[in-house]
Amino acid sequence: MMHGNLVCTQCTNHFSLTDKIWKCHCGALLDIEFNAEFPIDEIAKRSTSIWRYKEAIPVPDSHIISFSEGFTSLEDAFLYNIPLLIKHDYLFPTSSFKDRGASVLISKISEMGINVIVEDSSGNAGTSIAAYAAKAGIRCRIIAPSNSSKSKQNQIITYGAELELLKGDREKVATEALKEAENTYYASHSWNPFFFQGTKTIAFEISEQMGWKAPDSIIVPLGNGTLVLGVYLGFKDLQKAGIITRLPRIIAVQASECAPVYNAIEHIKNPEYNKSIAEGISVQNPVRKDQIIEAIGATEGCVYAASDNEINMALKHLYSKGYYVEPTSAVVVGALRRINPKMRGDTSVLVLTGHGLKHSFSQL
């Protein structure tokens, strides 16, 4: 039996990990208290999936829903003549890093015996949840913006999920999902804490691939914060277990057309929000914004904002190097040349998150 608790971020109520809840009774977000363990010698003998770290994931072995995803390559590279390590996290069964979170969340939902779920997504999280729900035999409903990527819409439908498209921005979609979640279990990649228990496995992989060490910094895109918070939780687990001694700086990058965390940190009041080609991170009100800011601050990290022009230039630069990713993924490269030069001599990991085949490039 897994030992741990669901903990309210506001009233500090504690719940069992088996309780069928995705938020506290007071309406606030839940986090998970769980002691991760890393039997390194045993891990080395296991198959290369996120579940090689099963002692660090609060889901029993008997309910794992997996496509053997994970352990994506970590490659030495140069982008804009800057040396760094590239983590190829677009090379997943549904072609985005969100499969990490979907595998753990759907495994947990399977353990709880839930057979109907709802999720809201602009694309990648929806495709991941739909795929893993299909494997688990769970009925899945995805609510998405009507202007989201057609290829992602088709991918969701192909997996057999019910797709509802709504006119309006990302916030309208989230509001509608919250209404439905009053009666249906919410498999949310931002509200549900089990999703982050999957995205945190990227930290375990990076550390193991570096000889169980931590890089000096890690550069990731930022929308709802599933990767920022996953990286933070994962490296904190490793630090608590005594595997590493310090946390890497988290360098998060948003699209300048929709950069609520950047605006909050830079004290920019009443910003305008516009459509960006980086649709996957165009989130005006990330529900875990305070936690995101706390995580970045705790690692002495920072946030940058990349313009659509910079993202387009980054895409073309990545193509010229043989990397085929979507605009949301390229945002990290869009800000790369403006990142503090003092950090360039560090060991930096840059994460590419979504495959180019998931997006129409009619804008370019």
What are the tens digits of pLDDT across the range 148-170? 888 889 999 999 999 999 987 77
pLDDT tens track for 277-333: 998 899 999 999 999 999 999 999 999 999 999 999 999 999 999 999 999 999 999
Task: State how far the Cα of 353 lies from the Cα of 94, in Å rounded to an integer.
Answer: 11
* pTM, full prediction: 0.95
- Determine which of 2-16, 51-65, 93-107, 169-183 has the lowest per-residue pLDDT on average: 169-183
The helix/strand/coil state of 124 is: helix
Supply the mean pLDDT for the chain. 94
Tokens 């988290």 sit on residue:
250
Instruction: Tell me which of 254 and 61 has the higher pLDDT.
Output: 254
Cβ-based neighbour number of residue 298 at 10 Å:
12
Question: Which residues 6+ apart lie within 8 Å of 341 measured at CB?
Answer: none
Rounded to whole angstroms, the Cα distance separating 45 from 356 reads: 33
The predicted structure's pLDDT at residue 363: 42
- Domains (ranges, CATH) in the chain? 1-33 (no CATH), 74-97+195-358 (3.40.50.1100), 98-192 (3.40.50.1100)
Residue among 221, 186, 226 at smallest CA distance from 99: 226
Could you tell me where the DSSP H helices lie in 142-225?
A: 150-158, 170-180, 193-199, 201-209
Instruction: Compute the average pLDDT of residues 201-229.
Output: 97
Q: How many CA atoms lie within 13 A of 9 on its CB side?
A: 16
How far is residue 9's CA from residue 13's CA, in Å, rounded to a whole number? 8
Q: For the segment 180-191, what is each residue's pLDDT rounded down to a tens digit?
A: 999 999 999 999
Q: What is the DSSP letter of 289?
A: H
What is the Cα–Cα distance from 113 to 356, expressed in whole angstroms? 35
pLDDT tier for residue 344 given thresholds of 50, 70 and 90:
low
| pLDDT at 7 > cutoff 50 | yes
Provide φ and ψ at 323, rounded to 5°.
-100, 125
- Name the more confident of 357 and 250: 250
The pLDDT tens digits of the residues spanning 99-115 come to 999 999 999 999 999 99
Which residues touch 244 (CB under 8 Å, ≥6 apart)?
207, 212, 213, 214, 235, 238
